[in-house]
A and B are shown apart, each in its own frame.
Chain A
């Protein structure tokens, strides 16, 4: 499973990261080196091993379904790079 330039373009787009054409080959090389190093995991027999996604095996806590926070519009807008009144603004998305 080796990454070529097309794959770099694809995953870069999935990650919404612009990678200039002249850098794509180099990036592919770097990623391949890391993935090659990772293939050492193929040595491990994981038949019948359950995947572990968290160190806490306990189910997540429940809490009452009540509002505990809110009314923070001013706080939320404080760091906006561009806004109009109480709205974040972005480039036009609807023609």
Chain B
């Protein structure tokens, strides 16, 4: 591992500005690291030539005094973002060799700020999963390995769906990466791999050019090794876009200015109902430790109640598949992607979709089709939408008493590849603490706080008010400072 791959984005920008190293050197170090880490299967498509071209351009801009906010920073881009002239797969067979002729708004913003793309990172197929196991291109593997005897000799999941991004950032072969979060797909993998994952408020980042899963829940966000990097990167990614009708026209503050400021008097809510059955003593202890850290930093801890939270997963598994079944209707083998012949048009559709979609995606399309079908719409879909509002009302009440909420990010540390695969509901439970935020659109950030007894990272989640990411970054930076998480995974690229 070279020193250049172990520094943060913030440190790299200082080094670039001070001419300690060039963007080309930074890109070369990361390309070598990425190539040495292929066993983790974190990238679906590597783009070293593009990275070198962008790095050369970055150095030229810097020399001319025109460097952008993230000029020269090498990133992994989740392969759910459409990238012009670079194959975009959503980790599905059905997109085939689909190569967009346009650039997603968020990646365009990152490139406009000078970022360098190392490649497209692995994910669960269409972002549907919590393990990265459902990828058509095979699972991504965590750079962590546990000391637990059961896990020690097994490959662990990097979480999901943004598993390639979390593996690459934790494994030091991308300096940061983009993720998307529909039910926890940025925060849970961040917790599993000991990094920071931020899901902003719904509407903060444009969804334009990101392959749609569940449009009322999907949000883009940064995955980084520090809270400061997340603040810096979100500022670049965020902003109004007329091409996304749900994009919100609000000024994007300079989140970095929130970092390290005092949280004295800030009220942090602890939802009593989040002590769900089956939460391990270990997670509970970490949670209390996190609350104590924030209290020591000057915050006031208050108990709050979110009584409908326990229904969030059930609501999610109606609404997300319903929206997905509708969004994924576009994959019909006619205009792009895979086509499997059939004797007539209907057969061609059915064959294409049967072969093109993996098992979990097919399951969700069927559930979504069922809950939207005549006779069942009211009982399932409409009911879920009503409970969704009850969940939101809970949060509105809670935020009358506090400024941010602290919870665990995930109910466990990373599990091994092959675990939890027989029962979809067991897998769905991974998102129990993260899903409610997507349903109500609130921002959340996972900060690595400690290691479990199995030697694997555990994160805590902070939840903020809509469009109040400033408070969230303030609290997250205090938590990061107090936790001082400096553990590194056993696998670091290039070592």
Taking Cβ atoms with an 8 Å cutoff, the residues of A that contact B are 1, 3, 7-8, 11-19, 27, 30-31, 33-35, 37-38, 40-41, 43-44, 46, 49-56, 60-61, 63, 72, 75-76, 78-82, 88, 90-93
Residue among A15, A50, A72 making CB contact with B369, cutoff 8 Å: A15
Q: Which residues of A contact B424 (CB under 8 A)?
A: 30, 33-34
Q: Which residues of B contact A19 (CB under 8 A)?
A: 354, 362
Q: B21 contacts the other chain (Cβ, under 8 Å)?
A: no
Query: Interface on chain A toward B: helix, strand, loop, or mixed SS?
Result: loop
The interface size of chain B toward A, counting residues with CB under 8 Å, comes to 71
Query: Interface on chain B toward A: helix, strand, loop, or mixed SS?
Result: helix
Complexed CA–CA distance, A88 and B338 (Å):
14
Query: Is A46 a contact of B390 with CB atoms below 8 Å?
Result: yes
Complexed CA–CA distance, A7 and B318 (Å):
18
Complexed CA–CA distance, A60 and B344 (Å):
40
A sample of 16 more A-B contacts (CB under 8 A), given A16-B350, A35-B370, A38-B380, is A1-B376, A7-B370, A15-B366, A16-B332, A17-B350, A18-B351, A41-B311, A41-B384, A44-B308, A49-B387, A54-B216, A55-B216, A79-B337, A91-B341, A91-B347, A91-B348
Interface string of B322-366 (1 = CB under 8 A from A): 000100010011111111011111111111011001000011011
Shortest CB distance B207–A (Å): 12
Complexed CA–CA distance, A95 and B354 (Å):
26
Taking Cβ atoms with an 8 Å cutoff, the residues of B that contact A are 96-99, 101-102, 202-203, 216, 242, 245-246, 248, 308, 311, 314-315, 317-318, 325, 329, 332-339, 341-351, 353-354, 357, 362-363, 365-367, 369-370, 373, 376, 379-380, 382-390, 392, 423-425, 439-441, 466
Query: Is B366 a contact of A8 with CB atoms below 8 Å?
Result: yes
Complexed CA–CA distance, A37 and B337 (Å):
35
Query: Is B314 a contact of A38 with CB atoms below 8 Å?
Result: yes
Nearest chain-B residue to A79 (Cβ)?
B336
